[in-house]
Chains A and B, each alone.
Chain A
Amino acid sequence: MSGSTSGETSEHGAVLDIEGVSVWRGGRQILDEIGFALEPGEFTGLIGSNGAGKTTILRVVMGLLAPTQGRVLVEGKPLTRRHRSVGYVPQKLLIDPDAPVRARDLVGLGLDGHRVGWRMPSRERQRRTEEMLEAVDASRFADARVGELSGGEQQRVLIAHALVGRPRLLLADEPLANLDIRSGQEIVDLLARIAAEQQIAVLLSAHDMNPLLPVMDRVVYVAGGRVAAGTTDEVVRTEVLSRLYGHPVNVLHVDGRVLVVSGSHVTVDAGAVMDTGAGMDTGMDTGAGMDVGVDASVAAAERR
């Protein structure tokens, strides 16, 4: 199934417009004619389990991977390598604690790190850096070594780094994977706020959509190299996802949380496997794996 269920076509003013993109690698099809669009100010979740194709989609949007077919438009123009409109927030920094780089320096690199040559440090640069650190609430550790920051603090700095270049689209690559629940929630809220305030399109990839539910405007659900895009209510439904997976799944709403489970078994965190009695074979061959996303946190329940 390609495209989306809500009939999105290339919108004028869309920050990102993907249409009919397929990617083949090593004889295997990684993405199968996917398409979706992102509007400024929208917070979109790119949801799917590992191996579903999230990373590939991100790489295509970043301009690092040329699709075998299809087109990618950023702000109405074809994607080039050096697209300044796209900001990328990596999952984490592989850097040792001794590295002599402060948060402030890292953010500064977001402005001109790609430029060759020597430039005298300007007041303007300093001001923009300060402003961005403020915006992500990182001012208090602006002068600390990046390698010494906690996971959540580092994420903020990485976000500031991506934002300082004033992108129209911000890609966050699984920021929640290494964070505890509270820090993760803070980051999600921060990004949602930024999306709204600065009218930036935010695409956040995750394998569990539950932390994003309260703030997500749209969802791009990836499974087996195909996507379903639209609002949460439109996409996260049994019939839609079953069509996407090519295999019966059940979408359960439990206590304000969403569980996507395969047709005949539901696996919960405790490892107990319960048979729902459907009696069907659960041979999953879409390669997407099944992420149940069960999250026993109290915080989530409290949010509802």
Chain B
Amino acid sequence: MEALWHALFAPGFFTSQPVRQAVLVGGVVPIVAGAVGVFTVLRGQSFAGHSLSALGTLGGSGAFLLGITPLWGILTCGFAVAGVMELAGTQRRRGRDVATGLVLSTALGVSALLLYLVTMSGSTTGVTVTLLFGSLFALSGITVPAMTLLALVCLAVLALLYRPLLLSSVSPELAAARGVRVRWLGLAFLLLLALAAALCSVAVGTILSTALLIGPAATALRLTRRPARAMVLAGLVGVVSTWIGVVLAYDSYLWPPAGKGWPVSFFVVAVILLCYLLAGFAPAARRGSGRAGPTGRAGEQPSSGPREPLTPARLR
């Protein structure tokens, strides 16, 4: 029993400060990501989430250059982009893919420049890796408390807006008829999405953050059709995946190649993907009848979205 415990948790796991930090962040961020992620998928805005994450690279690299914590840079950039997106509309249209892709690419190109400048100025090392692939074990001073606070704010706002947001996600016309300000709500949601994307970006890196944002949500939606349950489930999947990732990453210091340890983000993403695939084997009864149905909105949908459209009657 002792031996098993030591095999699972390499020595020093529970006393290591970076590990505690990682576990804390890894417990908080996925909960937010799960809740926001479920809404994102329901609203068909997964690509918006992806864009926000990629553009976070720009904000983060800018922050590094200016010598401030990347979190703020990513956040600011995310908010700005969210505002623009709401103006431009996030629906998929022909030609939109190309335009968005080019904007993202260019933003990454600028990030490349900024990261280069940062590296040249010699102030921080390994900036590229930290920004793009995350540094769950190496979060500096204010970042952890800031993230926790932001996560709580995000959850609070989400809880506040829950009903109108759900209604307007599933049936904007009905929501408008009931006096819900659909447009403002859409903007508010994009800001929340930017917030969640920023938190995920700091946790597992800007490039990999989509996995943390969308992965557990998509997994949960494979297992249940009820939004509230999906959010809880998504949060659970996210937290468990991240914690397993943290454990494995810590243990991997003992694995070959010696002394280096594998990147924690890799483990987190791998476990998330695994969970998603396993959800495909869930008993068919839980998945409901039939295959793929688009959810309330037009726009791009994951192939594994909820099986039937959510009607207001199904909302809880």
A298 to B314, CA, bound (A): 47
Lowest 3 A-B CB distances belong to which pairs? A96-B94, A96-B95, A98-B95
User: Among residues 40 to 96 in chain B, which have CB atoms less than 8 Å away from a CB atom of chain A?
Assistant: 94-95
Contact with B along A244-281 (1 / 0, CB 8 A): 00000000000000000000000000000000000000
Residues of A within 8 A of B95 (CB): 96, 98
**Which A residues lie at the B interface, using CB under 8 A?**
96, 98
**Which B residues lie at the A interface, using CB under 8 A?**
94-95
Instruction: Report the nearest B residue to A99, measured CB to CB.
Output: B94
A-B contact count (CB 8 A): 3
Instruction: Report the nearest A residue to B98, measured CB to CB.
Output: A98
A96 to B97, CA, bound (A): 13
A96 to B92, CA, bound (A): 13
A-B contact pairs, 3 of them (CB 8 A): A96-B94, A96-B95, A98-B95
A96 to B95, CA, bound (A): 8
A228 to B94, CA, bound (A): 43
CB distance from B155 to the nearest CB of A (A): 41
CB distance from B188 to the nearest CB of A (A): 32
A96 to B94, CA, bound (A): 7
Residues of B within 8 A of A98 (CB): 95
Residues of A within 8 A of B94 (CB): 96
Residues of B within 8 A of A96 (CB): 94-95
Instruction: Report the nearest A residue to B94, measured CB to CB.
Output: A96
CB distance from A93 to the nearest CB of B (A): 13
Instruction: Report the nearest B residue to A94, measured CB to CB.
Output: B94
CB distance from A92 to the nearest CB of B (A): 15
CB distance from B99 to the nearest CB of A (A): 11
CB distance from B97 to the nearest CB of A (A): 11
A96 to B99, CA, bound (A): 14
A98 to B96, CA, bound (A): 12
A98 to B95, CA, bound (A): 8
CB distance from B91 to the nearest CB of A (A): 15
CB distance from B102 to the nearest CB of A (A): 14
